[in-house]
Amino acid sequence: MFKQQLDEFAAKHLTRRLTPLQSGVGPVVEMAGRQILLFASNDYLGLAMHPEVIRASVEATQRFGAGAGAARLVSGSLPSHQELESALAQFKGTEAALTFSSGYLANIGAIPALIGRNGLILADRLCHASLLDGCRLSAADFRIYRHNDTEQLQSLLAARRQARRTLIVTDGLFSMDGDLAPLPELSRLAQTYGADLYVDDAHGTGVMGAHGRGTAEHFGLEASIPFQMGTLSKAFGSSGAYLAGSSAVIQYLMNTSRSFIFTTAPAPGSAAAATAALRIVQREPERRARLWANRAQLFRGLTKLGFTLPPSVSPIIPILIGNADRALSFAEHLFAEGIYAPAIRPPTVPDATSRIRVTVTSEHSPSQIDQALASFQRAGQASKLI
Ligand SMILES: *Cc1c(COP(=O)(O)O)cnc(C)c1O
């Protein structure tokens, strides 16, 4: 049956394969023995390979070990985790923060803990898989609203049983489309209808807002979103995630969130790396300035070439293709040109919306972006997309 299922994936051009990578992530990587320009990582500020971040990771590893040994409630809570949580709470302007071993674990652990039986979850259709899985794991009823459709959300809120506990769940910056959630409107609806708002800011953290504090900062809503989740695995160049909120919320999650209680704490090296990355995010706003300048150059160039670009406003720039096989073939043409940008296909994105997901970082140089644009043009023409 596995073989048959795999054959079905293959027939629909939906087979997934790993592409071996022989170097750390950066603008240029070694793939399949070749030097390739990478437009695929979420290491938006180039911190995964930053010497200060690596040094912090090595020092914490030497001092506290390669692994944390157990869950923090079991074997004790290391300084690496405590320091990271204080730094995150300060950064996010909340009373407290709790770290998880990954963003996936944060979402599947926090959401079922925050809302359960008799509750109602309303989530955006394009929410990240980990949010949707968290919603499904909760004992609450779970409804999806159309992407960023605040009118539909309002009618779902208005139609629900009175005084029913409700959680609105959304990405801050959508991972496959690069657009923003209408947080001011979501926050207003949450207030009007007595609901709570849970924002996953995996891609906004470090990227959005004047100080990189995320989409909440971008919209001036830092004080009004009770549950702010973010990852340490994207712009922070490490791994792990956090939920920032009030002390009561954090204490409660520590007592009830299964993916916090029943999993080994993040490796001390990862936690220390994230703390070091956070320092750089705050100290070097020029990284964000370079990121946005690069993003503008790439978006302008791709627009001029005539690709179909959904309304992205971020370093995530999807080129919409439609068919999975055409998206794959375009990705292959790009790879032949020395560019790696992955074809994203269902079920990661809705049917018939296969795309090439292009991401740019602060570390790409303007000439690398020009070189990539020339390759996008040739590959786009060869694939008859432009
Ligand atoms: C990447 C991502 C996650 C998962 O984070 P990991 O740390 O990679 O597990 C969660 N939510 C969104 C929106 C993401 O893009």
Mean pLDDT in order along the chain per 10 residues (386 residues)? 96 93 97 96 98 98 97 96 98 98 98 97 98 98 98 97 93 98 98 97 98 98 96 98 98 98 98 98 98 98 97 97 96 97 95 97 98 98 95
CA of 244 to the centre of ligand 1 (A): 16
User: Rounded to an integer, what distance in angstroms lies between the CA atom of residue 137 and that of residue 60?
Assistant: 34
175 labelled catalytic: yes
Domain ranges of the chain: 13-42+285-382, 51-283
Structural element, H or E, at residue 327: helix 324-336
Amino acid at 91: F
Residue minimizing CA distance to atom 5 of ligand 1: 103
203 labelled catalytic: yes
Q: What is the CATH number of domain 13-42+285-382?
A: 3.90.1150.10
Structural element, H or E, at residue 17: none
Q: Which fold has domain 51-283?
A: Aspartate Aminotransferase; domain 2 (3.40.640)
- Within 308-384, residue ranges assigned H as helices are 324-336, 366-382
Determine the straight-line distance between the first and last CA of the chain, rounded to whole angstroms: 40
- β-strand pairing of 141-145 with 120-124: parallel
* Whole-number pLDDT of residue 163: 81
* Whole-number pLDDT of residue 212: 98
**Exactly one of 128, 203, 218, 364 is catalytic; which is it?**
203
384 labelled catalytic: no
* Whole-number pLDDT of residue 298: 98
Question: Which of 130, 243, 316 is the best mutation target for the ligand 1 pocket, counting ligand atoms within 8 Å of the beta carbon and taking the most?
Answer: 130
CA of 5 to the centre of ligand 1 (A): 27
* Whole-number pLDDT of residue 221: 97
Q: Which of 367, 360, 338, 351 is nearest to 29 (CA)?
A: 338
Amino acid at 14: L
**Please, which residues have CB within 8 angstroms of residue 182's CB and are 6 or more apart in sequence?**
148, 150
User: Rounded to an integer, what distance in angstroms lies between the CA atom of residue 172 and that of residue 102?
Assistant: 17
**Please, which residues have CB within 8 angstroms of residue 76's CB and are 6 or more apart in sequence?**
none
Whether the bond between 347 and the residue before it is cis, its omega within 30 degrees of 0, is: yes
